[in-house]
Amino acid sequence: MSVSHRRPVPLSKAYRLLNHGPTVLVSAAHDGKRNIMAAAWAMPLDFEPPKIAVVLDKSTWTRQLLEASGSFVLNVPCAAQADIVQTVGSTSGLERDKFQAYGLQAFAGELLDAPMLEGCVAWLECRLLPEPHNHQQYDLFLAEVIAAQADERVFSDGRWHFEGHDALRTLHHVAGGHFLKIGDPVAGKNLDD
């Protein structure tokens, strides 16, 4: 039995899980069905209470599930999961359960039923905000983050620290299964100081 490295992240720091622009996996469940898909277009929208924005195409089944349930999870995957991200980003879960098909392990959220994917490095449980104009016009979904967790090996005290954990670096999608992993720290100093 493996030791879990998941730790709660205070809501005031939840935006930092997405601040550096990783590609995410969006998961949702409704009425006994569940799905997970990849989305490169997600970002923080507010600090506290934390909010996020994510773009979800009308054709996706995950979108149907999250519109029905009013909630979803943003899972932040890592380099070790590149094949999983590419696969769940290019297949449909309408005809078969992707978790079963690809042997993906899921666990329950603290507050939501949406499946959270094992092996990711952060998880944000989200409650959809009712903004139908944005949904219809722009495929844009805004949500409040109601719980967050991260893998303490690479995120603690509100900071990412990937040194020594290359396989846990976040993925940043370019196109067509080509990703860049996040790299090394750079400090920026204020030129007035």
Binding residues for a second copy, rule: CB under 8 A, are: 16, 19-23, 40-46, 51, 53, 55, 79, 82-87, 90-91, 102, 133-134, 138-140, 142, 158-160, 162, 169, 171-175, 177-192
Instruction: Please state, in angstroms and rounded to a whole number, the distance separating the CA atoms of residues 48 and 144.
Output: 9
* Residue (34 or 51) nearer to a second copy, CB: 51
CB of 115 to a second copy, least distance (A): 18
CB of 83 to a second copy, least distance (A): 5
* Residue (82 or 128) nearer to a second copy, CB: 82
* Residue (31 or 184) nearer to a second copy, CB: 184
Phi/psi for 36 (5° steps) reads -145, 140
CB of 76 to a second copy, least distance (A): 11
CB of 4 to a second copy, least distance (A): 24
Instruction: Please state, in angstroms and rounded to a whole number, the distance separating the CA atoms of residues 188 and 57.
Output: 36
Tokens standing for 150? 């991260």
Q: Which of 49, 98, 43 lies closest to 76, judged by CA?
A: 43
* Residue (41 or 113) nearer to a second copy, CB: 41
CB of 113 to a second copy, least distance (A): 26
Q: Which of 101, 119, 117, 99 lies closest to 109, judged by CA?
A: 117
Are 117 and 105 a contacting pair, CB within 8 Å? yes
Tokens standing for 4? 């879990």
Residue 34 bridge partners (DSSP): 29
